[in-house]
Amino acid sequence: MYSSFENFFTSDFILNSVNYFFLIYGATLTSFYCTGVVLANIAIRRNIRKSSFLQVKDIVSATDIPSVTLVAPAFNEGLTIIENVKSLLSIQYPYYKFILVNDGSTDDSLEKLIREFDLEKKDATFITQPITTATVKHIYKSTNHKYTQLTVIDKNNGGRADALNAGINFATTELVICTDADCIIEQDALLKMVRPYLEEDHREIIACGGGIGIANDSVIRNGTLKELRLPESIIPMVQVVEYIRAFLLGRMAWGEINGLMLVSGAFGMYPRKRVIEVGGFDAKTVGEDLELCIRLRKNMERLKLPYRVVYLPETLCWTEGPPDANVLVNQRDRWARGLWETMKIHKGLFLNPKFRFMGILYYPYWLIFEFGAPLVEFLGLICILVYGILGLINWPSAILLFTLVYLIGCIFSTAAVFMYVKNFDHYTKPKQIVELLLAAYLEPFVYHPVLLYGQMKGYYKKLFRIKSGWGVMTRKGFKISES
């Protein structure tokens, strides 16, 4: 049996097929990344030019800007709920409402909110629900004039997507922006987020995403980010680099050719009528942000209406990233399951000319290089193990190849860091830049193996139909400064 196994893997056909597969896959992915760097540079320059014509001060003084409701679900966020709500209430925007959806919390979140913001229970029976959700129990409004824009919905637990849908049902504004209760949003974020809606004349903006940043170990005062610090632990430190690279080289590049398929669930703005039109977020998937964006695009393709999905490169929303490997695995396990579910739901897009570039290019890229990358990497590790045992690896050549791949990854990370530092003023100290680069160069050794494990764990659950929910995101809470 061992002889048959060895003969199979050592046959010229299998050896050549394996070599050519990994070579073509790697070269194609590298080409996409190189193209992404070029497109991202063009997109950033275009965004800077546009922002110079229509500035925040012009938007805030305008009388014809769209009204916005911010919807934030919360489940057992008692540790940080007060500071987070204060942050979301401090946002500067003339026509702004804030809906916090308490999704059946079992901790003291609701009690803290009632006490801190002078909430009073209101009748909930008048709410119309174009999107079906779990039962809404009560509506709370503040009796304090400082918090008139705050509404708290108390409902039975239905999950994050269900909670967002409940908030969208209650909203009456033109635009809704979905975030998480644990996020710290820049005070002028909404003023920047509506700019694409004001600039675009010929195409409808169906989704707009803002940059997400990691704020572990940063200082929060009165609900706002007062001092941005790099995380002290290596796991969240590398996430800073990962987010910069993903948002700048990924989403900016795809946004430039209107190929953006994902608006982050932590900070995404949508026209309320379009979200209701497609039935809201899908509560059956844990990847509801990706799934909704694809569904919105498909809807516009069917309606044959011109549209865009846009991304703003500047970090406008800060969140607490997974502080350790265990929490990171839970997060990426969930993301992998969500990606699997979404690719399956919309499998009809693959190479479907009816959906134009979304069917011919954008969906296939996600399927092959986003969904497929962990599988290809895992397969590569198996091949290295098998051929290493069989003594068929030329180790000097292999080490040279691994070094080349590592250096290419370092180049892309370095490019992303310097593009970010050059265009935005969040990390300007030489020490911070050096730490970011060191984190990027350590990423393949201390971070990526954990990432791959989390992704494969999620795929394993889907493959063998192991039921798993949202997962546990243990938070340490932001550093709160009282002075």
**What is the full per-residue pLDDT of the chain (483 aa) written as tens digits?**
556 666 766 788 888 899 899 999 999 999 999 999 999 999 998 888 877 666 676 676 677 899 999 999 999 988 888 888 988 998 989 899 999 999 999 999 999 999 999 999 987 776 678 999 999 999 999 999 999 999 999 999 999 999 999 999 999 999 999 998 888 898 889 999 999 998 888 899 999 999 999 999 998 887 788 889 999 999 999 999 999 999 988 999 999 999 999 999 899 999 999 999 999 999 999 999 999 999 999 999 999 999 999 999 887 899 889 999 999 999 999 999 999 999 999 999 999 999 999 999 999 999 999 999 999 999 999 999 999 988 888 899 999 999 999 999 999 999 999 999 998 889 989 999 999 999 999 999 999 999 999 999 999 999 999 988 766 566 666 666 555
* Token pair 């990526």: residue: 448
Q: Which residues of 318-352 are buried (b: 16+ CB within 10 A; e: fewer)?
A: bbbbbbebebbbbbbbbbbbbbbbbbebbeebeeb
**CATH value of 1-472 in 3.40.630.30, 3.20.130.10, 3.40.50.970, 3.90.550.10:** 3.90.550.10
The pLDDT, as a whole number, for residue 3 is: 65
pLDDT at 104: 95
Identify whether the C-beta of residue 214 lies closer than 8 Å to the C-beta of residue 296: no
Tokens of 50: 């546009």
The confidence score (pLDDT) of residue 68 equals 97
Q: Which two tokens stand for residue 68?
A: 């916005």
Tell me the three state secondary structure of residue 102.
strand
- Strand blocks (E) in 254-351: 267-271, 307-319
* Amino acid at position 113, single letter: L
Rounded Cα distance, 87 and 81, in Å: 10
What CA–CA distances, in Å, run from 225 to 69, 236, 443? 22, 17, 27
* pLDDT of 58: 67
477: left (phi over 0), alpha (psi -120 to 50) or beta: left
Secondary structure of residue 304 in the 3-state scheme: coil
Output phi, psi for 19, to 5 deg: -60, -45
Q: Is the dihedral of CA 108, 109, 115, 119 positive or negative?
A: negative
| Per-residue confidence (pLDDT) for residue 69, from 0 to 100 | 97
Q: What is the CA radius of gyration of the chain?
A: 23
What residues does 96 pair with on adjacent strands?
68
The DSSP secondary structure of 416-446, one letter per residue, reads HHHHHHHH-SSS-SHHHHHHHHHHHHHHHHH
Q: How far apart are CA 239 and CA 406, in angstroms?
A: 18
Question: CB 389: neighbour CB atoms within 10 A?
Answer: 11
- What pLDDT does residue 348 have? 97
* Helix intervals (H) in 70-108: 81-89
- SS3 of the chain: helix, strand, coil, percent, to 5: 55, 15, 30
Amino acid 480: pLDDT: 60
Domain residue spans in the chain?
1-472
